[in-house]
Every structure is written in C-alpha cells, then in structure tokens.
Amino acid sequence: MSVYNFNSGPSILPQPVLEEASRAILDFNGTGLSILEIGHRTPMFQDVLQEAISSVKKLMELDDSYEVLFLHGGATTQFMQVPMNLLDADETAAYCDNGIWGKKASKEASLFGNVNVVADTSDRNHTYIQKQFTVPADAKYLHITTNNTVEGTEWHQYPDISVPLIGDMSSDIFSRPVDFKKFSLVYAGAQKNMGAAGVNLVVVKKDVLGKIKRPIPTIMNYQKHIEAGSLMNTPPVFAVYTSMLTLRWILAEGGLAEMEKRTIAKSDLLYSTIDSLPVFEARVAKEDRSQMNAVFFLANPELETPFLDLCKKEGMVGVKGYRTVGGVRVSMYNALPISSVQVFCDLMKDFAFRKG
C-alpha cells in the first residue's frame, strides 16, 4: 500500500534529501566517517554550516546586517529567548494571539517584561487573521506567528509598523517569496519545511541586539552565538546537515518562486475540493486560509471517525486534526507532491458520493 505523508511536523522531506542523508550516515562525502561521527569544528562540518547559512541568506535576499544562527531547541525555545534578548522588565512588547502558538509565545514573554496583546482572534476560535489593530509606539517589538499550524490560518500580508517585527515562521518558511527585510528577527523550527527536527533557525538583524540591561545567560545570548558562529556548544550536526541538504534542494528546484507556484497549486486543489463537497466544511475565512495546513471538518460530526478510518486504511498519514481543534488537517509542505493531494481529493470525493 502506498503511504501519503500529510504530517504537520516532523513532516515529509524531499526524496533526494533522504537519499543523500542516508548515504552520509554510513559514509560522509567519502571520508569513511558517518555524518554522526564527524567533529563539529572540523573543516568538514564547517563547510556544511557555511553552505546552510549562505543558502538562507540567498533565499531570503539578506545582506550582512543580518546574522543566521542554527541553534538547539525548536521554536518553543524562542518563545523565551526572544524576550530574554529584546525585552527589559520595565518595557512592553506587542503580541498577536492568532492561536495556540501565539498564546504560548506571549505567555513566555510575560516572564521578562510587559505584554500587550494587540490582536486576539479567540472570539471566533482563531478562524481568521485580525488585520486592524494598533501597536503602541513605545513597544519594543511586535510578534506574530506567520502561519498557524493548528488552526489553519496564515498571514498573507504582514503588518506595516514602526517597531521591530518578529516572526515565528516555523510552518511556512521558504514556501514563498517574502520581504524578509520587514522583519528584525525570524525564527523557525526546521521540522516542517526546512529539514529534520532538532535544530532551530534564527535570523536576526544585529541592530536590535545589545540594548537590554538584564544579564543574559551565555547559552541564551544571541550575540554570543553570533560571536561563536553557531558553535558555542556542539550543534545538532545531523539536523543542520539535513537542513543544508533541504535548502540546497529548494535552490536547485527553482527557489522560493517555484515553491510558491507548487504551494498555490496544491492548496487551490484541496480547498476547491473541500468547497465543492457539502459533506466537508472549512471554517477558516477564505482570505486567511493557510496554504500549508488546511483545517476542515465533517458537516455531520458522526462522519468524522469513519472518514479518518478510511484515510488510515488508504495510507493517508497525519490527517487527524490537532487535539484541541479536532476535525481534519492536511499539511502541504514543500516536499509534498501534488499527486498526494490529488489522491486525497479523490478519496474525499468518493467518501462524499457514498455518504453525502
């Protein structure tokens, strides 16, 4: 039976990346050593790290005013590390609460300073993106989650503000061309569009650092990581290597313009199918639908379990909705071929014909 991987993360990786990474586990670049065995300060790994950094800057079209870091911990660590580096106890940061991850991020920030939640979409179960809100002029920064994996919403246009913009891009990074220069700091766990779990990408504009009075533990200090070139301590070597291979694959496939073209084709196919079948119900506002994570429901809740059972039987992996939301979730990251989406849409049509 064929398997179709719609997992929300860790998620599907490009086949060439899996093949190259598999070879490197046994013999990295003909050295006779596994990628799991090489020293992180050797020229072998330095080449890997530098290619990964240069690929990020190339894809983001950033100059040397930005630094690229590959750090331990997923995006959840950044919920703490961002305010620790940017927010003093007597200062205020602005946050948008568009779902579970934005709420978690603002909660962590409140441990380090004041938090002003300037946008909150809980009134409609986070099924839309609030676009009209006011950011206080004295806010140290505005934090947004650019794609809400759990709720299925996405920022398709970023707010124009006068304070630094911080983006948790864990689930839609490198899926489309973006003016990354609008952001002072971007972070993303690698395990959705960029590689294997275990490493976190942080891209930071240097001019926002070094301004707080609070002492920062060395391992949490962005400036210290910049000085050490992401090598303050032993990095997650294999996860960095897999990210490097994935970034190389994105560039070879045509870069972010090509990723966007594929993303639009996949999400348009799925959403048009959902909208055409009364058995299914998409509750997210059309203009705010995520192109990465489609969240939808069975109009008759009693049909949810039979539908998910059918998905499991037919090899559709990872389509059960997040535990706090329920329903169905189909994740369409860069490495997912449109053929998998087509098979899923065919299954939906067949189910609707028999149950509708």
Determine which one of 97, 140, 155, 168 is catalytic.
168
Active site residue 192: yes
Cα angle for residues 56, 172, 234 (degrees, 5° grid): 50
Q: Which ranges of the chain would DSSP assign to H, the alpha helix?
A: 15-26, 43-60, 75-86, 100-109, 222-228, 237-253, 255-276, 304-313, 338-355
Distance CA 182, CA 166 (A): 9
Find the catalytic residue in 155, 172, 192, 266.
Answer: 192
Beta strands 92-97; 114-120: pairing state: parallel
Q: Which amino acid is at 105?
A: A
The yes-or-no answer on residue 155 being catalytic is no
Identify whether 10 is preceded by a cis peptide bond (ω within 30 of 0).
yes
Given a contact cutoff of 8 angstroms between Cβ atoms, the answer to whether 35 and 46 are in contact is: no
Distance CA 349, CA 165 (A): 42
Catalytic one among 97, 101, 266, 288?
101
Closest CA to 344 of 325, 326, 356, 329: 329
Is 168 marked active-site? yes
Which residues lie closer than 8 Å to 164 by C-beta, 6 or more apart? 86, 140, 141, 142, 184, 185, 205, 208
Which residues are designated catalytic?
A: 101, 168, 192
